[in-house]
Structure 1
Amino acid sequence: MATSKLSSSTNVAGATAEKRARKKLDTIRQIEKQMQKSWASLKLFEADAPDDITNNSNTFLVTFPYPYMNGCLHLGHTFSLSKCEFAVGFQRLRGKHCLFPFGFHCTGMPIRAAADKLKREIEEYGFPPQFPIDTNQKDEDDKTSTPKHSENSKTDNKSKSKKVNAAFIIF
């Protein structure tokens, strides 16, 4: 009897804490939307090029080695890019005219190889693609859908580790 009262009071306390956390999150999201609306109406992050370029000391330029398109973006890109973005924001707050061009590098042999692959696939399968139905694959799918072990068969212990060849481990 005592355990049921304890568990019910724990559930109530957990639900109350969850409601408070949700309320905080909703408040933060509401503030975020208000600020973004304010920034958009003030065009705070938009800048026009100056009419005259006589004062070069009032400009700031940041470049970033743009990501190559044959790979995925990763945390290293974010780390490096955030430094550039913070520097531009700081200099803009100091009143400088800032330029922060950004793009993706879409030239070179890896891009050419990817374009050739797409061209071959479009020629082979059409656009939009119409893939042929492989009858061998369909037969294999039917075979794998049946259970491999009967209910009475002994199951293997999957928790046992396998021996690893130490020559392939790189430190």
Structure 2
Amino acid sequence: MERDYDGSEYDTEGSNGFAAVPDAFQRLWTPHRIAYIENGQQPAKDECPFCVAPSLDDEKALIVARGTHVFALLNLFPYNSGHLLICPYRHIATYDLATPEEVAEIGSMTQTAMRVITEVSHNHGFNIGMNQGKIAGAGIAEHLHQHIVPRWALDANFFPIIAGTKAIPRLLGEVRAEIAAAWPA
């Protein structure tokens, strides 16, 4: 047993000898993420994948739908099968820079994506969100994009933690074709 600054005792056995004040949080150590923190992995503006994608063939770019102001494409590094991104065509960094038309189309395309993904993959829920800026964890911080991640009961596993591997049960091209085919015209 160790003594805290106020004289109370606490057990540090679970901390491998490091001094710590116990709290209610579990720690998930992910040292592989340090590359994103240290390097940022941000592309040069002329190499922005969300600016380049609309100029490519939909299949090659993994685009499943195109709107007037935004488009939907599969995430090249998905958390789950069917992980989509909704991106404006304009190269803007944050949601507050989007026009009312872009905001409305991001919303309507998100709703359509949820319906289509549920129809083709029978998922049980979604994680939806935007990481705004490098400090907030945006993989591509300079181009606004919203994540739509389908979730299933029991889909969480420890491969990423134990083996540095993500178990994605379906190929990107297969998922893109299925979602694109089910997208309403």
Measured against the shorter chain, the TM-score band is under 0.3
Flag the structure with larger Rg. 1
Where is the strand percentage greater, Structure 1 or Structure 2? 2
Q: TM-score, normalised by structure 1?
A: 0.23
Where is the helix percentage greater, Structure 1 or Structure 2? 1
Q: TM-score, normalised by structure 2?
A: 0.22
